[in-house]
Amino acid sequence: MPELPEVEVVRQSLESLVLGRKVESVSVRCASLRYPVPENLRVALVGQTLGKIERRGKYLLFGFNDVLLSWHLGMTGRFHVLSVREAVARHEHVRIDLDEGLSLRYCDARRFGYAGLLDVEGWQSHPWFRNLGMEPLWDGFDGNHLYEQCRHHRSTIKSLLLSGRVVVGVGNIYASEALYHAGIHPARRANRISRRRADDLAISIKKVLREAIMAGGSSVSDFVRVDGRPGYFVRKLAVYGRQGRTCARCGKRIQRKLIAGRASFYCPGCQH
């Protein structure tokens, strides 16, 4: 489900709904997510106040007094903020009840999501975060950075973007979209991208991600926001999921092809 824009949309919603709330109880209905839910989750969180909610790549970071709770949504993970009286939701695995009668529920049909308790200091050296690339919306991410990184990789640019080693948060949808807007073929070798085209790609990545956040994310099949509404960026997708349709720029048919094992969408007329 979620790439950077969807996770950011969830982060912003949670921030407006549960920031500053205190944990009253925690219950785990199903601990077998991708990795087991930490056994000491309840002990670690009860009584703690949620001081900040941040994001690194596709990870949500819940900052409590003494501990950092990191959460990855996998493919189908969702957070809902309900009342404590509200019944158990479908595929609800973890429930964190807060003061003022609020209840944070984690639901995940495929259970590819995972959570971890990390040190407030030093969490960045955890294996989940150690090798992550730069945040695409930071100022430091630009054509120069992208070019310098791409130079050292012979893999396809699409798989390099997905790897998260150079830039984080770009998943299968937005990699296809950004490459289309930059006019770069997804199977082009990363080290064969010129400095000028790296500029275009960095700009496209920022633009696509920002616009997707503004639209509330992309609901390709089942992404919904914290309040249950869908995201509307699907309407703006130029190539993802549009194989056989015509390219808005040149009229050629959009292709779907597996690149490094992932469905990739591109316009053979516009992307080289």
Q: Which residues bind DNA (CB under 7 A)?
A: 1-3, 6, 32, 34, 57-58, 72, 74-75, 90-91, 109-112, 127-128, 152-156, 159, 162, 164, 171-173, 190, 217-223, 231, 259-263
Measured from the CB atom, is 98 or 166 closer to DNA? 166
Q: Residue 65 Cβ, how far from DNA at the closest point, in Å?
A: 27
Q: Residue 54 Cβ, how far from DNA at the closest point, in Å?
A: 16
CA distance 149 to 155: 12
CA distance 175 to 178: 5
Q: Which of 56, 210, 256, 262 is catalytic?
A: 262
Cα within 13 Å of Cα(161), Cβ side? 32
The H-or-E segment that residue 95 falls in is strand 92-98
What three-state secondary structure class fits 172? helix
Cβ contact 168:133 at 8 Å: yes
What three-state secondary structure class fits 24? strand
Question: Among this protein's residues, is 3 annotated catalytic?
Answer: yes
Determine if residue 22 is left, alpha or beta; phi over 0 gives left, psi from -120 to 50 gives alpha, anything else beta: beta
Q: Residue 182 Cβ, how far from DNA at the closest point, in Å?
A: 18
For residue 108, give both structure tokens: 């995940």
Measured from the CB atom, is 94 or 162 closer to DNA? 162
Question: Among this protein's residues, is 121 annotated catalytic?
Answer: no
CA distance 11 to 13: 5
Question: Among this protein's residues, is 262 annotated catalytic?
Answer: yes
CA distance 102 to 98: 5
Question: Among this protein's residues, is 6 annotated catalytic?
Answer: no
Q: Residue 37 Cβ, how far from DNA at the closest point, in Å?
A: 13
Q: Residue 100 Cβ, how far from DNA at the closest point, in Å?
A: 31
Q: Residue 59 Cβ, how far from DNA at the closest point, in Å?
A: 7
The H-or-E segment that residue 20 falls in is none
Measured from the CB atom, is 23 or 141 closer to DNA? 141
Measured from the CB atom, is 85 or 130 closer to DNA? 130
Measured from the CB atom, is 23 or 198 closer to DNA? 198
Backbone angles phi, psi at 207, to 5 degrees: -65, -50
Measured from the CB atom, is 82 or 89 closer to DNA? 89
CA distance 123 to 145: 24
Q: Which of 3, 6, 8, 177 is catalytic?
A: 3
Q: Which of 2, 38, 136, 186 is catalytic?
A: 2
- Residue type at 172? N
Q: Which of 55, 58, 197, 225 is catalytic?
A: 58
Instruction: Identify the bridge partners of residue 36 per DSSP, sorted by sequence position.
Output: 32
Positions annotated as catalytic residues are 2-3, 58, 262
